Amino acid sequence: MENILKEILQDPQFAEGVAWKLRHFNANEVIVKQGESGKTLFIIEEGVLRVTGHVELGEHKKIQPGFCDLEKGSIFGETCLYESSLRMATVIAVTGGSMIELDGARLSVFLDAHPTLGYLFYKKIFKVFVTRLNKANQRVESLMAWGLKVHEIDKYL
């Protein structure tokens, strides 16, 4: 992804300050918040970010579990590639660092106009999605196994 992104960012048709910007962040800074509308996607240049969710355990009990940590080269917010969409998770900085923030609609238009780069970019994004889906499936299986053990379901099988 790094080489493809470098080529896109160096193209004069995808100008810094218009289509993308370098953004610095500090530890504990909220980058995006679950449920808010977004139209940009991000690629981490340096630092560590944590993806968290929001779980309500009862009337006044809420937790914010961490799903995963993202590091250099990681992409997130890609659901905003075509149009504005709601953020599916909260992303919080674990350390200070920097990231590239890309305008999703402008990137989509650029990739349509440059089909070879577009193909390579989407191929990498697809790989990211498949990896995330596999990890999510493993987590669901682990949670189901844990739930069954906690409730001693194996006694009834």
Position 70 scores a pLDDT of 95
Residue 4 near residue 117, CB atoms below 8 Å: yes
Rounded distance between C-alpha atoms, residue 76 and residue 72, angstroms: 12
Position 134 scores a pLDDT of 92
pLDDT truncated to tens, each residue of the chain (157 aa)? 788 999 999 999 999 999 999 999 999 999 999 999 999 999 999 999 999 987 777 777 777 777 889 999 999 999 888 889 999 999 999 999 999 999 999 999 999 999 999 999 999 999 999 998 998 899 889 888 888 888 777 666 6
Torsion of CA 19, 107, 103, 124, to 10 degrees: -120
Position 157 scores a pLDDT of 63
Position 140 scores a pLDDT of 86
Say how far residue 71 (Cα) sits from the centre of its chain. Answer: 11
Position 156 scores a pLDDT of 61
Q: What is 2-114's CATH number, 3.40.50.720, 3.40.50.2000, 3.40.50.620, 2.60.120.10? A: 2.60.120.10
Q: Rounded to two decimals, what is the model's pTM?
A: 0.82
